[in-house]
Structure 1
Amino acid sequence: MVFTPREDIEVAKAAVCEEPADLFTADARDVITRACSAYLGPRKLTALELLYHPRHQADLTNSGTSAMQAVQKTASWQVRGMSVPVSERIRRLWEIVDKARLDMAAQVDALAPEPLTPQNATSLLTRPPEEDVAAFAFRTLASLAAGLAEKKTWKDKIDTVLTVGAAAADGPALACIDMLLAELIRPADALAETVGAFETAGDGIGLLLPLIDATAKPTDAPPKVPLAVQFYKLLARAPMPETRTALAAHVVRQVTGPDKMTNRSLADEIGFVVELRERLMVDGGLIGGETTQEALERRLARSLSDQTIDMLMQGTQCAGDRVMRALTLHRKVFGEAAQGYLEQYVVELMGQPQVESKLMPEGLSVRKQIKALGALHRSLKASTITGRARDRMANQVEQAQAALLDKTRLLEKLNDGSGSAAERLMRVVDLCREGAFTDGRNADRARAAAQQLMKRPDFLDSYLDGASQKGERASRLRDLQRKLAEARIV
């Protein structure tokens, strides 16, 4: 299930009602919820309760301007971008609403639905063979609305629906429970009554996602929230698509909201947002679609700026460390703004005067300096930074390593250094195997030095020293051949 949020106008245009029956569709109920929010919210009412209870309809009609404002709002949404006068659409909507109200009052009066309660839920939610599914749905929703009529809080209403929902055994009954429960948990305060409040937006998302993808178990329910266990049990045993869609809408609300995802460090916050995008992928699509993608990109863009970058670089000892950390982030983050800022940061770091002398921390051995420059070069070459800038910076590192090799004469000293020829060779072989030398002239230079060592007359004897048995000598030679191949020396 991939949920995509819609604007008021978009929903209204999908629910252009022409007959009273059209008011009962999912899109029309969504429009009613939005257009009547100022009336429904304070009274803890849902669109379904309004549609299936004549008293609620009469109260809205007699409430003053609330009904008029809702109709005007809906009409203005539906004619936006059209040549139809809003007054004409208002007139037509009133005709439809008035007829629906009269028809509903007559149907409910003729049916006289028994209010659905935990005591009669089993019998009322059982469909007799002679009752078709449409008639059963009407009777059930009217009974649900009647059963909730005197409930004044979201908690009481949700508690009632969850309790009677436990008695719903088949698809039609569960569909009715699903429709009403989805509308009941739409407000943020109603959701908090159901699964609890969240300390951070990330906590809320982490709790809701398993409910959405049907992996949550009743034992996962927050223990201190009275309604949570019932809610988890119902979602564990039934599809409940509308309820899961309502939960997905809450996830998008958390993602697009202003609250931080975590109460942890800035680096952890960025890491959470990056990982969250993968967690929000359901059925091949992103929950919330482009709305979610854009919100996540904005979060990353806000997290990366001149004011925050120093916080992310805490613990680094040199320019090379900072470049490496920025490149790691650049590979992980998404969005042009976040990636662009990190690219600019790396380019500016590498553009500092005499940056080559700042690429490594002080006090490193020559061997460790070589390895550090090789790792930085590999990271630059593998980065997704713009090609020309990437190649220019990689070339800077290659030149810095070449200058270090010239200054220290590390490779030239191999022929007359301490230790056996075999020991000196393996120092170079191990560096080559680890990718310590930058690809190109520096790596070629190291391999050439290794080959020179292998030509020394004392090399083979020093390498096989201590291996008296023929099998042991053969094993050592095979091991040498493998390492030389890995180092690309032979």
Structure 2
Amino acid sequence: MVFTPREDIEVAKSAICEEAADLFTPDARETITRACAAYLGPRKLTAIEILYSPRHQTDLMNSGTSAMQAVQKAASWQVRGMSVPVSERIRRLWDIIDQAKAAMAEEVEALDPAPMTPETAGALFARRGDESSPAHTFRILCSVAAGLADKKGWADKLDTLLKIAASADTPEALACIDRFLGELLRPVEVLPEVIGDLPTAGEAVASLLALLNGTARPTDAPPKAVLSVPFYKLMTRAPMPDSRAALAAHIVRLVSGPDKMTAKTLAEEIQAVVELRDTLVFEGALIGGEVTQEALERRLGRALSDQTIDMLMQGTRCVGERVMRAVALHSKVFGETAREYLEQYVADLMGQPQLEAKLVAEGLSLRQQIMALGALYRALKGSQLGDRAKGRMTRQVEQAQTALLDSSRLLEKLNDGSGSAAERLMRVVDLCREGAFTEGENADRARAAAQQLMKRPDFLASYLDGAEQKGERATRLRDLQRKLAEARIV
């Protein structure tokens, strides 16, 4: 089961009722819930309670225009895009409703289902003699509806239902409980009763997801939410598909809503949204499908803007560091708006005048500057930017490093620098191994300089200086060979 949000018309069209029994299908119940929302909400009622309670049906019919408006809504949704007149569909629905109401009254009178309470649940769940499965299920549903009839609020109804559920020890009984629970869980105000009043949307989503995928345990239930422990226990011991669908619907609502996922920094919020997409994959599909995907993309689009980018770049000291952070974000985020914003941001950074002077932070040593440019080059080279933009920007970094090598004459000074020939060589080898030089001419220059240094007559002696034993000298030479190979010098 993967919950997929549907529009009113889509739901109603999947519940084209042609006979009384069709009113009791899941799609028909959902259509009733939506069409009767103005009546059900204030009275803390659900569609399933209406369907299995003659008392509630009578109250609805006597409530003025509520029933009429609900039928008109459902009929207009169902004939949308069809040549059937709304008036004709309204008449047909009233015929079906009248039939269902009469049949319900007759069956209830014959069965005389007692209101189910936590004390009587065990006996009422038991099958009577040769009672058929449909009759058994119908009687249980009517008894549960009657047992909830005098409960005034969502919490009171939920509490009663969960206590009744403790006596449900067969798949049939649990399926009946699930039908009611699935609808009782839909209202937003019910959620804190079962998962607690959590401070962020992300924490609520995490709790709901654990319940949905079966990883939550009764010990995970929040102690301050009185109904959470029996709810967690029930979700642990039974499939409860309707209830899980209701939890999935809340996940989609929270993800689509305005509340932040975390109470952390903007960068951590973005990371949480990025990770959430993979977390919300359930049974091989994203919970909520395109609705969830678009909601996550909107969140990233809002998070990445001219108003927020400075917050994300806090701690960076130069253009190069900002580009690297933006490129790293670009590889993680999804959605056209967020990715295009970061692409333009990087392009603007790399399009500044006198760029070379801004690519690395002030106060760095020559070695650190070379390494910083190499790291920026690698980040751009491995980025998901477009090929043309990537090629242009990597050339800019390469040219900046070339200019630095030319002005410092770092490589040319290797032969006359301080320290032994071996020490000077290893400084270049380490830079090459770390990818400090940009690919192409700069890396080739560094390797050529290293090879030239190795040809000095004093190189081998300086490298083996202090290695007295033959085995130690062999080990040191093998280590050199390995490092030269890693640096691609030989």
Q: Contact (CA 8 Å) 1:35, 1:71: kept in 2 or not?
A: yes
Q: Contact (CA 8 Å) 1:8, 1:34: kept in 2 or not?
A: yes
Q: Deviations over 1:39-69 (max 9, x none)?
A: 0111111111100000100110110100000
Residue 230 (structure 1) aligns with: 230
Aligned counterparts of 2:87 and 2:103: Cα–Cα separation in 1: 24
- Classify the secondary structure of the residue corresponding to 2:416: coil
Aligned counterparts of 2:412 and 2:132: Cα–Cα separation in 1: 93
Residue 327 (structure 1) aligns with: 327
> What are the within-5 Å matches in structure 2 for residues 65-214 of structure 1?
65-128=65-128, 130-214=130-214
* More off after superposition, 466-475 vs 187-196: 187-196
Residue 370 (structure 1) aligns with: 370
* More off after superposition, 71-80 vs 124-133: 124-133
Q: Which amino acid aligns with 2:18?
A: E
Pick closer, same or farther for the CA change 1:128–1:440 going to 2, 3 Å. farther
1:190 deviates by 1.6
> What are the within-5 Å matches in structure 2 for residues 292-303 of structure 1?
292-303=292-303
Q: Which amino acid aligns with 1:209?
A: L
Q: Deviations over 1:437-472 (max 9, x none)?
A: 111111111111111111111111111111111111
Aligned counterparts of 2:149 and 2:284: Cα–Cα separation in 1: 41
- Classify the secondary structure of the residue corresponding to 1:64: coil
Aligned counterparts of 2:471 and 2:433: Cα–Cα separation in 1: 26
Q: Which amino acid aligns with 1:408?
A: S
TM-score normalised by L of structure 2: 0.99
> What are the within-5 Å matches in structure 2 for residues 247-286 of structure 1?
247-286=247-286
Residue 459 (structure 2) aligns with: 459
Aligned counterparts of 1:166 and 1:488: Cα–Cα separation in 2: 70
Q: Which amino acid aligns with 1:303?
A: A
1:292 deviates by 0.4
Residue 445 (structure 2) aligns with: 445
Q: Contact (CA 8 Å) 1:2, 1:288: kept in 2 or not?
A: yes
Residue 216 (structure 1) aligns with: 216
1:134 deviates by 1.6
Aligned counterparts of 1:398 and 1:96: Cα–Cα separation in 2: 77
Q: Which amino acid aligns with 2:367?
A: R
- Classify the secondary structure of the residue corresponding to 1:370: helix
Residue 9 (structure 1) aligns with: 9
Residue 24 (structure 2) aligns with: 24
Q: Contact (CA 8 Å) 1:429, 1:483: kept in 2 or not?
A: yes
1:274 deviates by 0.9
Aligned counterparts of 2:81 and 2:156: Cα–Cα separation in 1: 42
* More off after superposition, 260-269 vs 435-444: 260-269
1:126 deviates by 2.6
Q: Which amino acid aligns with 1:424?
A: R
Q: Deviations over 1:148-191 (max 9, x none)?
A: 11111111110111011011111111101111001001000122
1:136 deviates by 1.5
Q: Contact (CA 8 Å) 2:12, 2:77: kept in 1 or not?
A: yes
1:114 deviates by 1.0
Aligned counterparts of 2:383 and 2:207: Cα–Cα separation in 1: 35
1:236 deviates by 0.8
Q: Contact (CA 8 Å) 1:14, 1:27: kept in 2 or not?
A: yes
Unaligned ranges ≥5, structure 2: none
> What are the within-5 Å matches in structure 2 for residues 300-319 of structure 1?
300-319=300-319
Q: Contact (CA 8 Å) 2:195, 2:204: kept in 1 or not?
A: no
- Classify the secondary structure of the residue corresponding to 1:305: coil
Aligned counterparts of 1:419 and 1:137: Cα–Cα separation in 2: 91
- Classify the secondary structure of the residue corresponding to 1:29: helix
Q: Which amino acid aligns with 1:85?
A: P
Q: Contact (CA 8 Å) 2:401, 2:442: kept in 1 or not?
A: yes
Residue 355 (structure 2) aligns with: 355
Residue 412 (structure 1) aligns with: 412
* More off after superposition, 252-261 vs 286-295: 252-261
Aligned counterparts of 1:127 and 1:162: Cα–Cα separation in 2: 21
Aligned counterparts of 1:127 and 1:373: Cα–Cα separation in 2: 78
Aligned counterparts of 2:468 and 2:131: Cα–Cα separation in 1: 94
Task: Give RMSD over aligned pairs.
Answer: 0.9
1:129 deviates by 6.5
Aligned counterparts of 1:217 and 1:304: Cα–Cα separation in 2: 37
Q: Which amino acid aligns with 1:182?
A: G
1:132 deviates by 2.8
* More off after superposition, 256-265 vs 103-112: 256-265
Q: Which amino acid aligns with 2:230?
A: Q
- Classify the secondary structure of the residue corresponding to 1:415: helix
1:131 deviates by 2.7
TM-score normalised by L of structure 1: 0.99
Report how many residues are paired: 490
Aligned counterparts of 2:27 and 2:388: Cα–Cα separation in 1: 51
Q: Contact (CA 8 Å) 1:158, 1:194: kept in 2 or not?
A: no
Residue 476 (structure 1) aligns with: 476
Q: Contact (CA 8 Å) 1:4, 1:289: kept in 2 or not?
A: yes
Aligned counterparts of 2:48 and 2:365: Cα–Cα separation in 1: 74
Q: Which amino acid aligns with 1:472?
A: E
- Classify the secondary structure of the residue corresponding to 2:126: coil
Q: Which amino acid aligns with 2:107?
A: Q
1:128 deviates by 4.8
Aligned counterparts of 2:130 and 2:419: Cα–Cα separation in 1: 97
Q: Contact (CA 8 Å) 1:155, 1:194: kept in 2 or not?
A: no
Aligned counterparts of 2:84 and 2:196: Cα–Cα separation in 1: 46
* More off after superposition, 360-369 vs 185-194: 185-194
Pick closer, same or farther for the CA change 1:68–1:475 going to 2, 3 Å. same
Aligned counterparts of 1:445 and 1:78: Cα–Cα separation in 2: 75
Aligned counterparts of 2:454 and 2:114: Cα–Cα separation in 1: 96
- Classify the secondary structure of the residue corresponding to 1:15: coil
